[in-house]
Amino acid sequence: MQYTFSSRADRLKPSAIREILKFTSKPGIIPFAAGNPAAEAFPTAEIAEISSRLLHDSPIDALQYSVTEGYEPLRVHLKTYLSKQHGIGRDFDELIVTAGAQQVMSLVSTAFCDSGDEVLCEDPSFIGSLNAFRASGAKLIGIPMRPDGLDLEALEQALRVAKRPRFLYTIPNFQNPTGITMSRQKREQVYALAKKYGILILEDNPYGEIRFAGEDIPTIKSLDTEGLVIYAGSFSKVLSPGMRLGYCMAPAPIIQKLVALKQTQDVHTNIWAQQVAFAFMTEYDYAAHLERIRAIYRRKATLCMEQCEKTLSPEITFEPVEGGLFLWCRLPEYMDMNRFCTEAVREEQVAVVPGNAFSVDENAPSHCFRINYSTPSDEQIVAGLEKLKRVKEKLQ
Amino acid sequence: MQYTFSSRADRLKPSAIREILKFTSKPGIIPFAAGNPAAEAFPTAEIAEISSRLLHDSPIDALQYSVTEGYEPLRVHLKTYLSKQHGIGRDFDELIVTAGAQQVMSLVSTAFCDSGDEVLCEDPSFIGSLNAFRASGAKLIGIPMRPDGLDLEALEQALRVAKRPRFLYTIPNFQNPTGITMSRQKREQVYALAKKYGILILEDNPYGEIRFAGEDIPTIKSLDTEGLVIYAGSFSKVLSPGMRLGYCMAPAPIIQKLVALKQTQDVHTNIWAQQVAFAFMTEYDYAAHLERIRAIYRRKATLCMEQCEKTLSPEITFEPVEGGLFLWCRLPEYMDMNRFCTEAVREEQVAVVPGNAFSVDENAPSHCFRINYSTPSDEQIVAGLEKLKRVKEKLQ
């Protein structure tokens, strides 16, 4: 049988990262290509304790169908938390609980994009989000990155010429893959441009709460006086990714539409996970938990940067990071990036992600690769970078 | 702010059932409108036991990111189980674990439907599925139902005139909402028609394992020598709906596409739920569990049918059922269905679902309503039908 797929499904290739991830789960491979949060950051004892209580005291509530909007106590708590901690949420905003922030990308692009509509995004950007937009039929317009975030001139130029731009997708904190954080001034300028051109902003903030150095910068959503910003949050880095738990705060009419669409995707998010997250945020010292996680990432990032300095510099450069899970490394012009990544995995059993996996146009040339420092152990970080040094020396 | 949604999202109204469900969660309402499995059917002690062990012995495995295809041991076990129990699965088939069978509907329609493509479906049918197809931009073509399933002449006529029919959606066992089971002969005829016209069949079988009377009829998928049938299964009725766990078996090239699309929707299904289901199916007596559930539904369905006979007959009729969760009741021509349902909930605090909620054309007249017998307690079934009797007498 030959099967004919829809044109938007036809454009979709399995995620390069997911395919690499499968390969990297082979024993012996050093997993710089993954994006897994550090396993030691999971509050496993607390989750076991909460889960045991839920399943003994009120098992039906944890196992029965629930409402699409999300577990009401969690929704109420998240609204308060976001408001107090991040100044997010106005009277016109509402909140929906989702299956990870990934589902926010899927729901928002389905809600807004007809086939051929434009989505503007940072280039490079998180491939999972780009593929969600592609799956909705959207045309991606990549905006280059500067050290302080989006290139504003390129953004305004794109807004001027786009036919039906529906939203701008951005990860302002510790962007995946570049690690770049958008400056406060640029956040204000981006919001002003959105207002001027009447375009929505989809602000994805999975790493915001694991800043381990420097000062917090207000989210774009906190500037949102006009109802232009859709904010996506995630429990994947602060609690557990396997639970698949995220949320979206946006103006109520948008949330209503996302609710109707979520009904068609999965009815509601796993209710056990929602109840565990609620109990963990309200019955334990959540602030202390975040501090503990930040210390883990601070240690691993610092180690990784020190080792990169030792082994890859000066030929291979990287921007220091203050949060997130990734280092973005740049090869010298004369070094072939794909060959570097291929040699690394084949000859040295070290997996990194080739930079073009994150490009809007995967065929555009890239001189970068991404290193993840949260998945490998400290020993693997040291050993892996020694191995990458050998690859570098071979290609010099 | 005014927000402009995509045209496919614009067509989507919040599910009438979900909206009614919210209302019916108010205390004092008798919940004939719900679709919840009977709470006493959940194996709560076993789930608590398994979960406790998982979260103590291998918490990282239960909380870390996993692969999109699903938890490998569960996938392997499901393939064996489906093959042994239901004769389902050939060499060309593969399996993906999903967030409930609802996600199968969403993934399959996204994979196959461009805007305006036709999906053929039983009319009336499950609103959650119809809305998933609508959200993918598909045009729904309703095929009327006969007592033994789809009207074959109408189906062939629709296949003849449709421009780009992508698949036929059917719930052959204890269809929601009508309770109708497609006869064996008709399954063969429907498959032959699919072959003749080269159309795929999406077979949704959420209730197949809770048949409590009569003989099992082979699934359409078990007849699938040509790779035309996409089979959707669910753990919602046999384990827990709040876990959001389902699966899809279909030819490998289709599953590959569903995997790529699922990556964009939620990356993977909650891994804790997948591990719980695997342990429950393999370490406990699953056959005995199903027998225990069937006994619960047999008792509740029998009670409900007896009471309907006593209170609603002869004016209001229903077809006896041998499985599933629902009775489909037909009012006499002179009785206004919407008025009946409104009086029931307003004056008697009994919620049933108006039949047109399940129609392909919601504005088409309907004389039916749906009663769910799994959510209410036995006492509520008796009391609720006494109340419906009063509504009937008022409208006579």
In this prediction, residues B36-48 reach a mean pLDDT of 95
How much is the average pLDDT of B97-125? 97
Would you say residue A293 has pLDDT above 70? yes
Out of A52, A243, A257, closest to residue B52 by CB: A52
B262 interfaces chain A, CB cutoff of 8 Å: no
Q: How many beta carbons lie within 10 A of that of residue B334, not counting itself?
A: 9
pLDDT higher than 80, residue B15: no
pLDDT in tens, B116-162: 999 999 999 999 999 999 999 999 999 999 999 999 999 999 999 99
Please judge whether A266 and B134 are an interchain contact, meaning their C-beta atoms are less than 8 angstroms apart: no
Question: What rounded mean pLDDT belongs to chain B?
Answer: 95
CB contact under 8 A, A18 and B257: no
Q: What is the ipTM of this complex?
A: 0.96
Three-state DSSP string of B193-236 = HHHHHCCEEEEECCCHHHCCCCCCCCCCHHHCCCCCEEEEEECC
How close, in Å, is residue A265 to chain B by CA atoms? Answer: 5
In this complex, do B272 and A243 lie within 8 Å of one another by their Cβ atoms?
A: yes
Query: Any chain B CB within 8 A of the CB of A116?
Result: no
A20 pLDDT more than 90: no
Confidence at residue B243, expressed as pLDDT on a 0 to 100 scale: 97
- The candidate with the shortest Cα–Cα distance to A385, out of A329, A325, A324, is A329
**pLDDT (tens digit, 9 = 90+) per residue, A238-253?**
999 999 999 999 999 9
Q: How confident is the model at residue A346 (pLDDT cuts 50, 70, 90)?
A: confident
Compare all CA atoms of chain A with the CA of B52 and give the residue at the minimum distance. A52
Task: Please choose, from the candidates A370, A347, A307, A354, the residue with its C-alpha nearest in 3D space to the C-alpha of residue A28.
Answer: A347
Q: For B281-334, what is each residue's pLDDT tens digit?
A: 999 999 999 999 999 999 999 999 999 999 999 999 999 999 999 999 999 999
Q: In chain A, which residues have their Cβ closer than 8 Å to the Cβ of B52? A: 48, 51-52, 55
**Cα A360 from Cα B91, distance rounded (Å):** 37
pLDDT over 70 (residue A18): no
**Which residue of chain B is at minimal alpha-carbon distance from A263?**
B128
pLDDT band at B21 (very low <50, low <70, confident <90, very high): low
Q: Do B36 and A3 touch (CB under 8 A)?
A: no
Minimum distance, in Å, between the CA of residue B242 and any CA atom of chain A:
4
Nearest residue in chain A measured CA to CA from B138: A6
A52: chain B residues, CB-CB within 8 Å: 48, 51-52, 55
At residue A362 the predicted structure's pLDDT band, cuts being 50, 70 and 90, is confident
Is the pLDDT assigned to residue B365 strictly greater than 80? yes
Q: Look at residue B362 in the predicted model and tell me its pLDDT.
A: 78
A143 beta partners:
A122
Return the pLDDT at A22: 63
Segment B166-193 mean pLDDT: 98
> In a mutagenesis test of the A interface, which of B25, B267, B274 is the best target, namely the one with the most A β-carbons within 10 Å?
B267
Sign of CA dihedral A206, A209, A210, A216: positive
Name the closest residue on chain A to residue B265, using Cα atoms. A103
For the cut 80, the answer to whether the pLDDT of residue B69 exceeds it is yes
Rounded Cα distance between B377 and B34, Å, is 12
Q: What share of chain B is helix, strand, coil (3-state, %, to 5)?
A: 50, 15, 35
pLDDT at A102 over 70: yes
The Cα of B147 is separated from the nearest Cα of chain A by a number of Å equal to 28
DSSP sequence for B23-72: HHTSTT-EETT--PPPGGGS-HHHHHHHHHHHHHH-HHHHHS---TT--H
pLDDT more than 70, % of chain A: 97
Residue B27 has pLDDT above 90, yes or no: no
What residues in B contact A6, CB-CB < 8 Å?
Answer: 110-114, 117, 136
Taking 3-state DSSP, the helix, strand and coil percentages for chain A, each rounded to the nearest 5, stand at 50, 15, 35
pLDDT of residue A277: 98
Question: Which H, E and C letters describe B272-332, residue by residue?
Answer: HHHHHHHHHHHHCCHHHHHHHHHHHHHHHHHHHHHHHHHHCCCCCEECCCCCCCEEEEECC
A133-142 pLDDT, tens per residue?
999 999 999 9
Q: What is the model's pLDDT at position B87?
A: 94
From the CA of B282, how many Å to the nearest CA of chain A? Answer: 20
Q: Is B116 on the interface with A (CB under 8 A)?
A: no
CA distances from A363 to A316, A354, A359, B291 (A): 22, 12, 8, 56
The whole-number pLDDT of residue A21 equals 59
Is B252 touching A (CB cutoff 8 A)? no
Window 165-224 of A, Cβ < 8 Å to B: 200
Least trusted range by pLDDT, from A281-295, A372-386, B259-273, B341-355:
B341-355
Q: What is the pLDDT of residue A190?
A: 98
pLDDT at B14: 63
Cβ distance of B51 and A47 shorter than 8 Å: no
Q: Give pLDDT, residue B145.
A: 96
Q: What is the mean pLDDT of residues B345-355?
A: 92
- pLDDT score at A26: 73
Question: Of A4-8, A187-191, B280-284, where does mean pLDDT reach its minimum?
Answer: A4-8
Does residue A283 register a pLDDT over 90?
yes
Both tokens of residue A138? 């959207």
Tell me what pLDDT residue B20 has: 60
Q: Which of A245-259, B201-215, B346-360 has the lowest mean pLDDT?
A: B346-360
| pLDDT score at B270 | 98
**Selected residues 67-106 of chain B with any CB under 8 Å from a CB in chain A:** 67-68, 99-100, 102-103, 105-106
Distance from the Cα of A25 to chain B's closest Cα (Å) equals: 10
**pLDDT given at position A363:** 80
| Better-predicted residue by pLDDT, A22 or A70 | A70
CA distance B6 to chain A (A): 5
Q: Given CB atoms, is A7 within the 8 Å cutoff of chain B?
A: yes
Closest to B95 (Cα-Cα) out of B237, B318, B317, B250: B250
Look at A131 and B264 and tell me if their CB atoms are within 8 Å.
yes
Strand partners, B328: B370
Question: Are the C-beta atoms of A159 and A199 separated by less than 8 Å?
Answer: yes
Calpha distance B278→B245 (Å, rounded): 11
